[in-house]
Amino acid sequence: MSPDDGATGGVSVSSEVREPARPGRGPGAVTIRPRLAFWLGWGSAAAIMVIFVVIAVVLRNSATGVFFRFADQVAMVLLGLFIAAGLALFARPRVRADERGIEVRNVALPRYLPWSEVQRISFPDGASWARLDLPDYEYLPVLAIQAVDRRHAVDAIRAIRALHAAAHRAPD
């Protein structure tokens, strides 16, 4: 009996946690980002920052009857920074996919799904973005493929569907 057997009852335990390989790196891999949302997200964030900095500078020197101090100016710039950061989040959506699976990053954290968990990639009529249909009538929105991107969205959905179909044809 080895020293490892006593603590685990004969089962070897590895301290290494395995995460799925990052998709989008294998053959035929695709990376998709929205076009219009990217420009609108960063453009509006930049505009908000400019507006809040100008307001912070102008308020101290204007005769409004209110006394603005340096701390108020800093607070205005920080407020603008927080709003701009929130708007910039809308430029984050991304999809990475390859023959193993798909990684969807909407506004916050990415979510990896192997193709075996994805039943279908759909773009319902009237929808603003695509979605992955999952078991038990669940779905995951894919904000990286948006209807306002027109031809880019069509090409993206075709590429993702081709990878999905190839994964379901391949023997396990």
**pLDDT band (50, 70, 90) for residue 5:** very low
**pLDDT band (50, 70, 90) for residue 158:** very high
Q: What is the pLDDT of residues 10-32, one digit of tens each?
A: 443 333 434 455 665 666 788 99
Show the CA angle centred on residue 92, arms to residues 87 and 95, nearest 5°: 155
pLDDT score at 64? 65
Long-range CB contact pairs, 129-135, < 8 A, 24+: 130/156, 130/157, 130/160, 132/102, 132/104
pLDDT score at 52? 95
Average pLDDT over residues 162-168: 88
Is residue 102 classed as helix, strand or coil in its secondary structure? strand
What is the chain's mean pLDDT, rounded?
A: 83
Q: What is the pLDDT of residues 104-142, one digit of tens each?
A: 999 888 999 999 999 999 998 888 999 999 999 999 999
Q: Supply the pTM of this predicted model.
A: 0.70
